């Protein structure tokens, strides 16, 4: 079943009607269990295809229960490593010998996000923060939650439990309106805006290969690079909007995953705004343990900032490698790790030289902010080349531009993003500042009624009347 789609919308509506028939937690859990299994089954063609995924789920459950019961460090390490190895094997990472792969197709949709949830449960069970004993039904509902199985967001168990069993958010009229708005916004981003940016990227890549002078090639290369990143954001954030809005009707509160990432003024802040649930998971389960382990081995306080820099690199190198199974994604990990760790090192050095007050004052300067936004966007956009290109394509890209063209490409990308993002920031401030009877205009019922009704008509016209294909979610592949 494609998410988002009208088939998924109908499925979710049926589940929402059923789940709100009774306020009893047992009823809600049962309905959600049936819905989760039914949704997962839409990706299965033959029973054999569910065996590897089912085995990973079963092993994760057994590992969590054993670690919770025994609190044995060696057992905990063995289970976490075993789950990670099984995940890499089932996801067919290139460093695993091909001879070891299973010789038949199997379901892998959502496996990455299930992996994060399983590791989270095992770690929390060992640390004692998971105090209750999860029964199999609750475990399946949490790990296979159909609203966020395909591409996240990654919800921690404590937050999920409050929605499913303890105190689910009420489905008021205001909540229903907000949920519908999120779904309309998400559908617009995924079905219309993101494909438009993808088409623009295709045009730019085609033009780049055509005979022309170096400045024109630099322009097309910068446009292709930026268009992919903006299109990726619209696609993934649109999917997130859609599932968060859907979950409202199920009385499940999913975490936010994006917060205007292109307004970020540092690469570290960018990861507080982009794929927020992934970066939160990575900081909790990779950055913090690595940092604490290094501090125990090098306890001198003067080295702690540098240890933090190193831990940042390790954590975000993992983020890049997680995205794919090939060497291109290893390079993506290097780019992300270098971006975050270099940013942290720069902050440390500037604070030493200027002091906190003067450094904060410098960061508040308009030119500094514009430059910081441009550097942040450009670095991630260039890193994302390894997300959508192969080494041969990147070699062709470099050969077409040449040394002079590459320098011009960097200048165009930086300067263009500085101008566009500064205009975007100014527009955002102006919109937020607009008020109607003391209320921000964008939150007024008049604006919301007109804007989102029109948006719904546009989305419906494009997707149904024009018979557009179901929207593609990029992060479904992970």
Which pair of tokens denotes residue 383?
């890193």
Q: How far apart are CA 141 and CA 120, in angstroms?
A: 15
DSSP 254: P
Q: How far apart are CA 402 and CA 398, in angstroms?
A: 6
Q: How far apart are CA 427 and CA 434, in angstroms?
A: 11
Q: Are 267 and 379 in contact (CB under 8 A)?
A: yes
Please say if the pLDDT value at position 47 is more than 90: yes
Instruction: Please list, residue by residue across 154-189, b when 16 or more beta carbons sit within 10 angstroms of its beta carbon and e when fewer do.
Output: bbbbeebbebbeeebeebeeeeeeebbbbbbbbbbb
Q: How far apart are CA 372 and CA 296, in angstroms?
A: 34
Range 155-171 average pLDDT: 83
Lowest mean pLDDT among 21-30, 260-269, 327-336, 361-370: 21-30
pLDDT tens digits, 87-107: 999 999 988 888 999 999 999
Which pLDDT score, from 0 to 100, does residue 433 have?
Answer: 80
Residue 435 phi, psi (nearest 5)? -130, 150
pLDDT tens digits, 347-398: 999 999 999 999 999 999 999 999 999 999 999 999 999 988 999 999 999 9
Which pLDDT score, from 0 to 100, does residue 171 have?
Answer: 86
Please say if the pLDDT value at position 305 is more than 90: no
pLDDT tens digits, 27-38: 999 999 999 999
DSSP 252: -
Residue 169 phi, psi (nearest 5)? -65, 140
Q: Are 67 and 79 in contact (CB under 8 A)?
A: yes
Which pLDDT score, from 0 to 100, does residue 25 have?
Answer: 84
Which pLDDT score, from 0 to 100, does residue 462 have?
Answer: 87
More confident residue, 351 or 469: 351
Domain ranges of the chain: 6-166, 173-258+437-477, 261-388
Chain position carrying tokens 């290139």 = 94
pLDDT tens digits, 406-429: 999 999 999 999 999 999 999 988
Lowest mean pLDDT among 29-43, 217-231, 254-268, 291-305: 291-305
List, as own/partner pairs, every contact residues 333-338 make where C-beta atoms lie below 8 angstroms and the sequence separation is at least 24, other chains included.
335/379, 335/382, 335/383, 335/386, 336/383, 337/312, 337/313, 338/313
Q: How far apart are CA 224 and CA 218, in angstroms?
A: 10
Return the closest-CA partner of residue 362 out of 350, 374, 378, 375. Answer: 350
Q: How far apart are CA 204 and CA 265, in angstroms?
A: 27
Range 170-197 average pLDDT: 93
> What value does the CA radius of gyration of the chain take, rounded to a whole number of Å?
24
Please say if the pLDDT value at position 166 is more than 70: no
Which pLDDT score, from 0 to 100, does residue 439 have?
Answer: 75
Please say if the pLDDT value at position 266 is more than 80: yes
Q: Is 430 exposed, middle or buried (0-12, 13-18, 19+ CB in 10 A)?
A: exposed
Which pLDDT score, from 0 to 100, does residue 431 have?
Answer: 85
Distances (CA, A) of 369 to 273, 327, 352, 365: 17, 34, 20, 6
Please say if the pLDDT value at position 441 is more than 80: no
Structural element, H or E, at residue 440: strand 439-440
Which pair of tokens denotes residue 325?
């199974």
Lowest mean pLDDT among 30-39, 115-124, 201-210, 434-443: 434-443
State what percent of residues in the chain have pLDDT above 90.
Answer: 74
Please say if the pLDDT value at position 159 is more than 70: yes
Under 8 Å CB-to-CB from 17, ≥6 apart: which residues?
none
Confidence of residue 264 (pLDDT cuts 50, 70, 90): very high
Which pLDDT score, from 0 to 100, does residue 298 have?
Answer: 87
Chain position carrying tokens 């095992």 = 122
Which pLDDT score, from 0 to 100, does residue 475 have?
Answer: 80
Give the residue ranges of DSSP H helices in 73-110. 73-90
Range 112-140 average pLDDT: 94
Give the chain's mean pLDDT: 92
Which pLDDT score, from 0 to 100, does residue 168 have?
Answer: 79
Residue 241 phi, psi (nearest 5)? -55, -45
Chain position carrying tokens 């490409």 = 409
pTM, to two decimals: 0.93
Which pair of tokens denotes residue 199?
């088409």
Which pLDDT score, from 0 to 100, does residue 365 have?
Answer: 95
How many residues are present in the chain? 478
Which pair of tokens denotes residue 288?
């913090």
Return the ∠ at Cα 327 (arms to 100 and 153), rounded to 5°. Answer: 85
């Amino acid at each position: 079943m494609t998410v988002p789609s009208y088939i998924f919308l109908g499925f979710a509506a049926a589940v929402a009607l059923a789940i709100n028939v009774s306020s009893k937690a047992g009823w809600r859990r049962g309905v959600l269990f049936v819905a989760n299994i039914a949704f997962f089954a839409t990706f299965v063609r033959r029973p054999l295809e569910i065996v590897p995924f089912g085995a990973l789920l079963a092993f994760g459950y057994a590992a969590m229960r054993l670690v919770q019961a025994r609190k044995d460090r060696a057992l905990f390490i063995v289970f976490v490593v075993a789950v990670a190895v099984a995940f890499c094997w089932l996801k067919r990472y290139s460093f695993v010998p091909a001879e070891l792969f299973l010789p038949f197709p199997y379901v892998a949709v959502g496996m990455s996000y299930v992996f994060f949830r399983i590791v989270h449960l095992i770690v929390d069970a060992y640390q004692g923060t998971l105090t209750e004993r999860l029964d199999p039904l609750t475990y399946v509902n949490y790990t296979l939650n159909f609203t966020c199985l395909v591409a996240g967001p990654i919800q921690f168990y404590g937050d999920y439990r409050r929605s499913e069993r303890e105190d689910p958010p009420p489905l008021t009229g205001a909540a229903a309106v907000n949920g519908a708005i999120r779904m309309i916004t998400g559908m617009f981003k995924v079905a219309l805006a993101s494909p438009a940016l993808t088409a623009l990227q295709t045009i730019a890549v085609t033009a780049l290969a055509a005979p022309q002078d170096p400045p024109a090639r630099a322009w097309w290369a910068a446009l292709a690079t930026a268009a992919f990143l903006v299109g990726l954001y619209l696609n993934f954030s649109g999917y997130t909007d859609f599932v968060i809005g859907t979950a409202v009707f199920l009385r499940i509160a999913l975490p936010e995953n994006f917060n205007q990432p292109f307004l970020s003024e540092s690469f570290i802040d960018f990861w507080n705004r982009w794929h927020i649930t992934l970066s939160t998971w990575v900081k909790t389960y990779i950055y913090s343990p690595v940092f604490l382990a290094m501090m125990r081995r090098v306890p001198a306080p003067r080295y702690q900032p540098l240890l933090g820099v190193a831990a940042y690199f390790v954590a975000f190198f993992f983020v890049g490698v997680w995205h794919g199974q090939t060497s291109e994604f290893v390079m993506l990990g290097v780019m992300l790790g270098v971006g975050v760790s270099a940013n942290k090192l720069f902050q440390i050095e500037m604070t030493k030289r200027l002091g906190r007050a003067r450094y904060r004052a410098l960061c508040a300067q308009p030119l500094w902010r514009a430059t910081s936004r441009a550097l942040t966007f450009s670095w991630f956009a260039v890193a994302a080349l390894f997300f959508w290109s192969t080494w041969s394509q990147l070699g062709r890209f470099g050969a077409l531009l040449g040394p002079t063209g590459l320098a011009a490409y960097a200048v165009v990308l930086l300067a263009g993003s500085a101008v566009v993002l500064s205009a975007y920031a100014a527009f955002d401030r102006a919109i937020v500042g607009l008020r109607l009877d003391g209320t921000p205009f964008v939150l007024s019922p008049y604006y919301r009624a007109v804007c989102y009704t029109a948006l719904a008509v546009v989305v419906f016209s494009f997707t149904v009347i024009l018979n557009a294909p179901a929207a593609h979610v990029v992060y479904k592949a992970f």
